[in-house]
Amino acid sequence: MNFERYEGENKTEYLLRLVSYKLEEKSTDIDWQDIVDFCSLEVHRDVLRKAMQPSEFGAYAIYKYMLENDVEDSEVLIKLEEKHLEIKKDIQKLRDLRTGDNERIRNQARKEAILEEIRDYLKDVKPHHIPDFKMLKNGKTSMIGATADAHFGKELCIEGLEGDILNVYDEFVFYERMENLFNEYVQIIKEEEISKVYFFDLSDGIEGLLRNTALQYVKYGITESAIKYGNYMASWLNKLSEYVEIDYYGCKGNHMEYRILNGKSGDFGKENAQYIIDEIIRLSLINNNRVTVNPTKGLQYVDVDGYKVLATHGQEEKNLINSVKEYKEIYGVKIDLMISGHLHNSKQETASFHSKVVQFPSLVGIDDFSMKLKKTAKAEGKAILLKGKRFINIDIEL
């Protein structure tokens, strides 16, 4: 069987002759890849095979029909080209129409899958047992408490230059540090006879998946981390409510975002795990009238006994002092204090004659990102007391 190209045989004739060997004579001496190579085709062998088959209406079947019915090549080719052009136009129209729809469908499907997983958990959430309350004091001191940058689900071990350990962090270290923060808060509450705490979750409570490199550090996925973290925080607040009333405010953070389809920061601003966490806390403490769970926001503007506080995670704030001035001008409001997290370290500054800014430290402490930037970040908590004309900023080592 001759697989060489005949003298005077054009490329199309040569191709169809080889295809006839393959399909008509069932030759096992030639494969589709051989035909691609012999004819110098820039297509995959499977593309050629599918184009020529099936036998009823493939390209080779059309060729045989033309031969058997003595149809002029030019006549058929013109009609086929016209039909091909029409089909291409129709396909492009459908593609243009569906591109936007497909993206919306994918986004919606992913969102529904996440929500379904959350609903499966939330439908089984049982309210926490309400603790026996201590007698409330009618003290004149207001207290602001907060957590920031817990990055629950992250696991790390940062070593020093001599093999010493600078920081170890995992789920159980988080529980230990939160227990220490709880004990410090209770001591302050008792000493100052505080009856109410304004508590802010300054976000990034979970590690999230901002970058693919985060996969090597996280123990749980975003949704599972949010569920575990939210359930723990509900228990923690429930226990603290034994000593005080609590107004709870959750802020949206960048690590809490669902970065769908390789989205960038802010692309899916409403898809934020803080909503999940706050809903778990709300449902868990629905029977506890000593804890009020307020709606989740990016900016929380709160009246703390006449003292105006603006709270945010801080990923959008390049300079807190400038931010205070800008927010005052934008919203036309008074801001006595602005608090944020995000930067993992503690700082207090005077923004203006009547305004202060306070940076809350992180629960995770120094991590791989801190090391990359050559910045230290000690694991700490903080409490702020407003007592008459006193503004007391308390750092709590964890």
Closest CA to 150 of 173, 117, 128, 122: 173
Are 198 and 126 within 8 A, CB to CB? Answer: no
User: What is the per-residue pLDDT for 308?
Assistant: 97
Question: Do 21 and 32 touch, CB atoms closer than 8 A?
Answer: no
C-alpha 218/C-alpha 23 separation (Å) is 55
Task: Determine, yes or no, domain membership for 279.
Answer: yes
Estimate the crossing angle of helix 11-23 against helix 59-68, to 10 degrees. 100
Q: For every one of its 398 residues, what pLDDT tens digit does the chain have, with 9 covering 90 and above?
A: 678 888 888 888 888 888 888 888 777 788 888 888 888 888 888 888 888 877 766 777 777 777 676 655 556 556 656 665 666 666 666 666 655 556 666 656 666 666 677 777 777 778 888 888 877 666 789 999 999 999 998 899 999 999 899 999 999 999 999 999 999 999 999 999 999 999 999 999 998 754 445 555 557 777 888 889 999 999 999 999 999 999 999 999 886 676 544 445 444 445 688 988 999 999 999 999 999 999 999 999 999 999 999 999 998 899 999 999 999 999 999 999 999 998 888 999 999 888 999 999 999 999 887 788 787 788 999 999 999 889 999 999 99
Q: What is the pLDDT of residue 357?
A: 97
Q: Classify residue 311: in a domain, yes or no.
A: yes
In a domain, residue 310? The reply is: yes
In the chain, which ranges are continuous DSSP H helix? 11-23, 32-38, 45-52, 59-68, 73-122, 171-192, 222-240, 273-284, 320-331, 368-373
Q: Tell me whether residue 107 is in a domain.
A: no
307-312 vs 165-169, strand pairing mode: unpaired
pLDDT score at 294: 97
- For residue 177, what is the domain's CATH number? 3.60.21.10
Predicted TM-score of the model (pTM): 0.69
**How far apart are alpha carbons 235 and 128 in whole angstroms?**
7
**Structural domain includes residue 94:** no
The values of phi and psi at residue 365, to 5°, are 80, -160
Total domains present in the chain: 2
Q: Do 26 and 173 fall into the same domain?
A: no
Are 15 and 152 members of one domain?
no
The parent domain of residue 37 ranges over 11-71
Which amino acid, residue 133?
Answer: F
Q: What angle do the packed helices 73-122 and 222-240 form, to 10 degrees?
A: 20
| 123, part of any domain | no
State phi, psi for 143 to the nearest 5 degrees: -125, 135
Residue 170 lies in a domain: yes
* Domain membership flag for residue 101: no
